[in-house]
Structure 1
């Protein structure tokens, strides 16, 4: 372990598992960050060797998040619950939101110690922003955590962001219960944003290898088809253009369907009506 990797352990709320690769740290590697270990880089490179679109997927999710936040701000949203927020990189929710409305409240939630430690450093001196270490698969612990319950007013509309996190809940019944729990905690007029990995341009062999690589982590994944992702929006009315390939959701510039398919992900945003 190098000196830079040793520095990642300083002041962490809990010691990270470095015996196995971690999805959050692999994602950070795909995005060009520095909060990862050799074991994460090895797993990520193994995936890239067979599925080079892995990095495209990560960057597309990040870009989708930015567009979603700006859209929701234009709809009057001023509080965000970011589930599985990951390791901070450029273009975090609060950075985007506070350029437009500094009073916007953001509650980040992640279970990975490296992600939480980096977020704590980044948020020092920040107002209206918290980071909570909790498992998003336990909605009760998330919703009652001081950093969430003390930051967000659930009697008013909020935006729940589930960006690239639901594939890590591979059981279909559990993922629907999970989404329902956050929906039931939200006031009418709240929003849900989802991006989810899906087989679009990837071959069956590439998907198989991707599953094998992620099975080496504590958080195996499940790729879901468009209909399965769409079902997660039960109770919400999708904003235009609906559930589409994530790069095609209100893109900032023109992009072809073929290019968008390289991300192997669908994205959508829905509003919870009364």
Structure 2
């Protein structure tokens, strides 16, 4: 009989290698399943075939006492996928999670910024400083493309220089599941990225022990993380005096809202955002 630990290891390998899920998605699966394994171990359950719907219901209930509903839903779906995989690979005969009900999650979207608020945010960083030039490039890229912050942080210098090489060239982004798409790069974003590459990045790059091909660098010359990007946005929002909640996702939501308000086609916006379903864009 297959142990829970071995089943989880094989499942993680499957989604990472065979299905090619994004690193952040795989990491989320791994965190949820680590908690699941610890929960089962505490109850003396070590083999995948021993698990019943009772244990999974108890796991969901315990998770609900410390986590948001959205986190509970994600954990249950992760567990359900694990057991489905176990059945497919003949580690178990049934999926005890298939009939576990998912708690309803109220969908909450960030309030879009107004055009004036976006303009104030973009103008907030001090462009006489290296970090300010970088932050303007970050903010302009987020708003100009509607990209996820992880997609912007993942950009390399070559991605930017290719887009800047021609006025008609777009920016290639790698989204969820490593799906690639090309998005237009507006003149303000082009100017901000060009200024950063010429006046700021050459000062940041030598600070790293090893050369980093990342477009956006932190103060140590390494790739800018999503957390650091979020912190930079908070500083810019505070400097701009914005009372509205500001995050990378709120800027992405503002991008879509402003396009649709201006008469853009819904399906065109869907493609720009990299949504797999137009229903997601409509929300």
TM-score under structure 1 length normalisation:
0.24
TM-score under structure 2 length normalisation:
0.23
Q: In proportion to residue count, which structure has more helix?
A: 2
Larger Rg: 2
